[in-house]
Amino acid sequence: MSSVRFRYPALFLNVMLKEFLKWFEGDFNNWRQASTNPTSFAHIILKHERVGKSKFHVTQRYKHEETPYRDKVINIVQNNNNIIVENDQCNLVFIKKDGFFWGQTMPGCIFKGTLLVSRIQMGPNFYKVIDAGLDPKTREQKWGSENGPFYFDKAK
């Protein structure tokens, strides 16, 4: 079987970035998860508001609070077959595989004195994430979910 070669590979890559931006943009919440397991998961609202071609104002807050506990502007770029989410703390690298975007923090990122480990899966209507802060020497978890990933549904 011969390999397929794209005549215009840059066009293919641009399509991937556009799809990522479309899936990333919007309002997300984990109500289904939080309502079925309230002792393990708080109800959280994520908002990814586009403020430029590939720039987003990102906020994260508890449903019962108006003030976000995470509020930043990020930039999203493509580097070959990777999508990079650039932010002021730790960049995330995504690949597209099996119909989803899979992401993780750049290795070695230190945040709040801990080694930040984030893993993300994103589809057109959901965003699944788990974050943890590990002791850089012992790898003991210092903060983050101990009950598994957060499942966010995209608001219609």
pLDDT in tens, 15-31: 899 999 999 999 999 99
Within 10 Å of residue 108's Cβ, how many Cβ atoms?
Answer: 9
Statement: 9-154 belongs to CATH 2.40.50.1070: no
Cβ-Cβ contacts under 8 Å for 121 (sequence gap 6 or more): 100, 101, 102, 103, 127, 128, 129
Q: How confident is the model at residue 14 (pLDDT cuts 50, 70, 90)?
A: confident
What's the angle, vertex CA 36, arms to CA 25 and CA 61, rounded to 5?
40
pLDDT digit string, tens, across residues 89-143: 899 999 999 999 999 999 999 998 999 999 999 999 999 999 999 999 999 999 9
Q: Which two tokens stand for residue 21?
A: 């931006």
DSSP states of 1-39 = -PPP--S-HHHHHHHHHHHHHHHHSEEEE-HHHHHH-TT
pLDDT value, residue 97: 96
Query: How far, in Å, CA of 12 to CA of 116, rounded?
Result: 32
Boundaries of every domain in the chain? 9-154
Using 50, 70 and 90 to split pLDDT, how confident is the model at 151? very high
pTM over 0.85: yes
Position 1 pLDDT exceeds 50 = no
Average pLDDT score over the chain: 92
The pLDDT confidence band at residue 45, using thresholds 50, 70 and 90, is very high
Instruction: Quote the pLDDT of residue 116.
Output: 95
